[in-house]
Structure 1
């Protein structure tokens, strides 16, 4: 009884996988199987039907490099750098979250502020740049990325939160050779951040 059941299962599977006789001939099926057998994971994608026809369909690139994992449009800002082999070291830095706290917050707990980063209004990034002058700095700030370049250092820093890049300030403290970048955070309006 078990053999009959497995035979019926195999027959049902064969019926599912085979095409009806009136749709295509066996010769066309063999061509499609051979073409599909040559394809690999790199051939998955949005290719036009015209580019899939012919014997060289496996080797066509559909207008882009098939070894690319993603398109450049999918890459977020700051994740790529124009000089990947930059020998300059990364300087020491620290990120400090800041919030305005009054006595009513500290002693009475009247506002909904708490010590978490969700209640912070701004972010302070301190970068130590020994042997650097203010005129040597090149600073670029995006919503979630800081690009700082000097003749001796290079910092490509992804920020933990979104910031208002056009409202930020930066100051170079010559005595300590330290750059302080203050960036107001871009927070969604919720029950904690009502402003």
Structure 2
């Protein structure tokens, strides 16, 4: 948890969301994980099923397209990416992040439900699925936007290393213990 989490616990919700959305800008590591880890690998089953649906040609053995695989791929990806991120957001000490996590978990579960609803046709599954993937990606961005793991910039106050047993430069005569 970053120090801004504890300091920003009384901030306006839009300020918290804006800070978490802007913080990873120009952070190469963040975008590599977003594209490779979430959009490509995290949603890989969705891309396979979408390709299968778009490549479907009716035959006498299978005159209609079956959407169970596509529904399952969308629902799994939405819940697998969005669910843990919403939980991660809710476990911070920031009250606004906790509130945002409750709102996002509602949308994640609601969209996953509608993707799996048998009464929704092919284009409805795609619509709910794409919106669900966008919400899940947004939840991932909010949960990890200030994570130090994804920061490429060096922090000026971070320790620079060296032998911890060496003496400090300067005198310590003014320090009372």
User: Shared fold by TM > 0.5?
Assistant: no
Does 1 or 2 have the higher relative contact order (CA < 8 Å, sep 6+)?
A: 2
Relative to the length of structure 1, the TM-score reads 0.20
Relative to the length of structure 2, the TM-score reads 0.21
More strand by share: 1
Larger radius of gyration: 1
More helix by share: 2
